[in-house]
Chain A
């Protein structure tokens, strides 16, 4: 069970890393963007996984894994019109929004798998992404003592489930939106007096630093689908 939840966490995080690394491709006007769709997208995530974890991408030997892979392809397809829209510069498809779309997509599938990229309640930008009670309590512990938190006797939708929360260390790229105006790419080549504290996504920056808690990935799987 723990192996499955670990695999899913790493697959999910690899997809977010791929989305981050490919911001230029996503936002560029024109050009071939087929790497972002269908089987090629998954192949690229597999490569990212290999580079990130130095191990092969997990076998698709469980419904939860195949549903996650399918959801990744479906989410990118949902964004296809926007990604190919040459009149729009910044598309808003960043790791956090991709992760949320993936979570929302999985929720519609009713397969007993819930994935969330979240942070403590007071610091969440998307109200729909607020942590639940379990996540809140776990994050409070993780802030005191950072480690992966695994719970084999938890609940999801009122059913027995396994849950895992994997903290994410703050990375430099997080600060582009959540850091201070000095980190804001929109302020490059601007006089300091003209700097904005609104990031490219339209939110006010939170002034976080590399020492802050970066949130984490919360995965829940109903035990009924583990069979």
Chain B
């Protein structure tokens, strides 16, 4: 039995539309602030707002299902959700819509008093104690520095790493997507400041369970992207 919160968003007017399909698409979402934020009304999350437009264009009724990150891809693989987003890594077993929905840039989070704004100044990293989640791939700029890189194991490595940085146990912590902790709506904003390894971006996708869902969704998705990309929508959303 899954321990998950379930939130249903149905485009009501489709109940009255002859174009509506009888199928309700189940969209698994994982907490990915500031794009999807489980700490507030899901309807306020920018990625949900954007995808609502896409789905309405597709004549689909749909519901969102909040998923814990560790279970999310299993739920997709076993067909309990039709769509999963956002998906940070392309696995050969996961089908995604062809264009990324957004990109993340990795970076380092510091206690504010130790902040290094420009990470291409890699010599400034020399000798620093820098923690990183053991399962993440580090950027060359970091591995080629003489920083002391300390892996943290476990599912909660990112949160623990940030806490250890706050407590001064690390000089910095490598985050695959620092925007998740360093944005204006999170309590961590008061504690740490993060800078980015610009030029090392990772595409983030919307994954689909099968070709049928892909075909249902992709044309509206491409249309929406050509009208306004999610990244531009997000930049103008005030998030």
Contacts and interface: CB of A to CB of B under 8 A. Distances in A.
Nearest to A39: B236
Contact of B195 (A39, A82, A87, A104): A82
B193 A201 contact: no
B199 A104 contact: yes
B236 A201 contact: no
Given A74-B231, A108-B103, A203 B193 contact: no
B201 A108 contact: yes
A38 B229 CA distance: 14
Contacts of B236: 38-39, 73, 77
Interface string B181-220: 0111000010001111011010100000000000000000
Contacts of B120: 100, 125-129
Nearest to B228: A70
Contacts of B203: 108
Nearest to B124: A202
B117 A101 contact: no
A22 interface: no
A78 interface: yes
A100 B199 contact: yes
Given A78-B179, A128-B199, A70 B232 contact: yes
A57 interface: no
Nearest to A80: B184
Interface size class of B (residues with CB under 8 A): 20 to 34
B141 interface: yes
Most buried by B among A84, A91, A104: A104
B168 to A, nearest CB: 16
Contact of B117 (A81, A91, A109, A129): A91
A125 B234 CA distance: 31
B70 interface: no
B6 interface: no
Interface in A90-127: 90-93, 97, 100-101, 104, 107-109, 125-127
Interface string B132-175: 00000000010000000000000000000000000000000000
B171 to A, nearest CB: 15
Given A77-B235, A81-B189, A88-B112, A101 B121 contact: no
B30 interface: no
A85 interface: yes
A92 B120 CA distance: 11
B38 interface: no
B116 interface: yes
Interface of B: 100, 103, 105, 112, 115-118, 120-121, 123-124, 141, 179, 182-184, 189, 193-196, 198-199, 201, 203, 229, 231-232, 234-236
9 contacts: A70-B235, A77-B234, A92-B195, A100-B198, A101-B198, A108-B100, A125-B121, A201-B118, A202-B118
Sorted nearest first, the 5 A-B pairs with minimum C-beta distance are: A92-B117, A77-B235, A126-B120, A202-B121, A128-B199
Given A90-B117, A109-B229, A201-B121, 17 more contacts: A37-B235, A39-B236, A74-B231, A77-B236, A80-B184, A81-B179, A81-B183, A85-B112, A88-B115, A93-B117, A100-B120, A107-B201, A125-B121, A128-B198, A129-B199, A202-B123, A203-B121
Interface of A: 37-39, 70, 73-74, 76-78, 80-82, 84-85, 87-88, 90-93, 97, 100-101, 104, 107-109, 125-129, 201-203
